[in-house]
A and B are shown apart, each in its own frame.
Chain A
Amino acid sequence: MAACSIEGLLAKAEQDEAEKLKSITVQKELDLEFDIGNLVAYDKNRIDIRLFREQKKEDFLRSLARDNTQLLVNEIWKHPTERVEEVIVVKLPEPTTALPREKPPPKPRPPTKWEEFAKLKGIQKKKKTNLVWDDVAKEWKRRWGYKRVNDGTKEWLIEVPETADPNEDQFAKRNKAKKEKVAKNELHRLRNIARAQKIKVPGVGLTPTAQQSKTDLARAVNVAKSSTASAGKFQERLPKEKAPRNTGKKRKFQPVIGNFSNEKQRQLDLLKVMDSKKPRLDVNKAVNKQMREDDREESAAKFKKGGKKGRKGGNFSGKGKGGGGKGKGKGRAGGKGQGPPSGKKGAGKPGKR
């Protein structure tokens, strides 16, 4: 008896539950997929086209939408809620649909030249305080920036040092020094950026500034001359033009503390070269170079002869000789009376220069 009543009670309780949940349950063939982070539901059930055509379109779509939304809301209500300022909010999980980004992910800033050196040497950054106690003004002042301690440009009295010119304007000198420091900092910043992006910055002389000295212009001319397909080998020189100085490779020194294995390898290679019996001189190349130089001399001398004809007859040969000697450039002894060079002599020539 009791058992029947218990069973009956249980059945009634179940029925009540079902009644309660009837209003929110929806029957679907396939379960929907949810992405609660984005509040999206994907219904993959096949839509019965016949039903769609029978009913009015709007009503069919509305009932379908209602069912799907009910399921979505059921799913949302399963998540934990909390009370925030008298409002009940539901905590959403992370969105699961993979959507493309707007922009590519940020790249870390490439280290500057100083940062690389500091890393190599193991120099740590020392954190400094922003405010420094100023005894003169008896207050805390900034280390840098507006109204800072030790502002050199704001001093009203500068002692003229003994070694300086008494008529020099010390204040102007300080201002100029500051401007130069700022410009130098800006230049280094831009160079770091250019190196980071691997942009080639043009060398000196090619980007003309206001005042260009003779050396700058000469350097620019030399750079322009050697920027041909054959690196300036066949470019003629003007009659009175001097050979360019400071050309040739700039000696690059390896850092003191760097790649130890590299250094070891280099020393061993050097020893190997010294040991080998092969001559280090390419005779062909040297001979060709010498011949080319001689041709150049001759043409220059001929030009000189032709140009100075009929001008000063007396000093003709002397002038020609002197001009010829000059035209061949420095470091070349007795240019004219050479004759066909022998192999060894030719080798000697480039060495002398």
Chain B
Amino acid sequence: MKQYGGVIKPKTKRAKRFLDNRAPKLTENIKNAMIMKGGNTSMTVTQALKDIYALKKPSAVLYKKKNITRPFEDSTSLEFFSKKTDSSLFLFGSHNKKRPNNLIFGRLFDFHVLDMIELGIEKYKSLSDIKSSKCPEGTKPMLVFAGDAFDHENDHKRLKSLLTDFFRGPVVPSVRLAGLEHVLHFTALEGKIYMRSYRSLLKKSGCRTPRIELEEIGPSFDFILRRTHLASDDLYKTAHKQPKALKPKKKKNISHDTFGTKFGRLHMQKQDLAKLQTRKMKGLRKRRGPAAAAVVAGETSPKTTEVE
């Protein structure tokens, strides 16, 4: 494997492609999520994990076995799993008396834990409870975050970023208009976060933009925010550093004014006004000899005024 800094070289082209896919790149792959259970889980938690796995398919792995670890205390096991499956998002579900129906959403940077936020499930309705036709798997959902808590409180801001990262799906340049079906709506109210998942029906309205009608499909959660483990500011900043090559190239000499008019700028060489090309008048041509010099001097001045 191209491990240990390239000491072991891959022997097949397929292995090389596999390793290049996992290597750090300029534009990255879609983030994989690993969904795992803790030492003790309740029916609610297992069902919740399965539902979120269904939302996040195919870029998620659901582990069946229980993992006796505590992410908030020891994250080495999580980091090991992330290295094995090349995942940078995780969802850890557990249940104990002190923290019933616990879900820990987290993300990693360079296979080390970046952020972890613990949410407790207070009320939960699974996919199978709500009887309606569902969206096809893998549709890019529209996300809506409502509530001023998502703007004012630090924890909620990070949670917003984490949930966007988790649920946004692949980054695509264009989207089929008829395929905008799935909507995930998060509301932050009184310290609780309500997550609802709807299917949007595009109804005819008088104009081009359709009218939206919603139909509840997917899992609905009532979360309560518990512990958080947020990354330090400098680690957060390092994680956001984009390589220079990705920055869009600025086109020089183009400017826009307030009305939106586009202005361009041309750079010319300095013109020698004495050698300006104007209409040729045979009579004004340069004549040899000292007598001609006086004539020429007299002629050139009216020429320049003409130009101005």
Contacts and interface: CB of A to CB of B under 8 A. Distances in A.
Contact of A62 (B110, B196, B236): B196
A61 interface: yes
Interface string A57-99: 1100110111011101110110001101001111110010111
Contacts of A101: 28, 109, 239-242
B278 interface: no
B5 interface: yes
Given A40-B164, A103-B28, 12 more contacts: A38-B171, A40-B142, A66-B212, A72-B142, A76-B177, A77-B209, A95-B171, A101-B241, A102-B88, A103-B111, A190-B7, A193-B6
B185 to A, nearest CB: 4
A92 B173 contact: yes
Interface stretch (B40-48, B147-155, B265-273, B294-302): B147-155
A138 interface: no
Contacts of A24: 205, 207, 209-211
Interface of B: 5-7, 23-26, 28-29, 31, 88, 107-111, 114, 140-148, 150-151, 160-161, 164-165, 168, 171-178, 180, 183, 185, 187, 189-190, 194, 196, 198, 200, 202, 205-214, 216, 236, 238-243
Contacts of B114: 100
Contacts of B141: 39
Contact of A64 (B24, B175, B187): B187
B175 A23 contact: no
Nearest to A73: B212
Given A91-B173, A104-B110, A193-B5, A65 B183 contact: yes
A105 B144 contact: no
A49 interface: yes
A106 interface: yes
B214 A62 contact: yes
B295 to A, nearest CB: 59
Interface in A24-47: 24, 37-47
Contacts of B165: 99-100
A353 interface: no
Contacts of A20: 205-207
Contacts of B183: 65, 69
Contacts of B185: 61, 64-65, 68-69
- Give the 5 A-B CB pairs with smallest separation, nearest first: A20-B206, A100-B239, A105-B243, A65-B185, A103-B24
A229 interface: no
A87 B177 CA distance: 8
B214 to A, nearest CB: 5
A196 B185 CA distance: 49
B145 A40 contact: yes
Nearest to A63: B214
A76 B144 contact: no
A46 B123 CA distance: 23
B187 A40 contact: no
Contacts of B208: 77
A100 B240 contact: yes
Nearest to A99: B165
A65 B196 contact: yes
A105 B147 CA distance: 34
Contacts of A38: 143, 164, 168, 171
Contacts of A89: 174-177
A227 interface: no
Contacts of B209: 24, 73-74, 77
A197 interface: yes
A21 B171 contact: no
A180 interface: no
B180 A73 contact: yes
Contacts of B144: 40-43, 65, 68-69, 72
Contacts of B26: 105-106
28 contacts: A20-B207, A38-B171, A39-B140, A40-B144, A42-B145, A43-B144, A43-B147, A44-B150, A44-B151, A49-B190, A61-B194, A65-B198, A68-B185, A69-B142, A70-B211, A73-B180, A73-B202, A89-B174, A98-B240, A100-B109, A100-B161, A100-B240, A101-B242, A103-B24, A103-B110, A104-B109, A106-B23, A190-B7
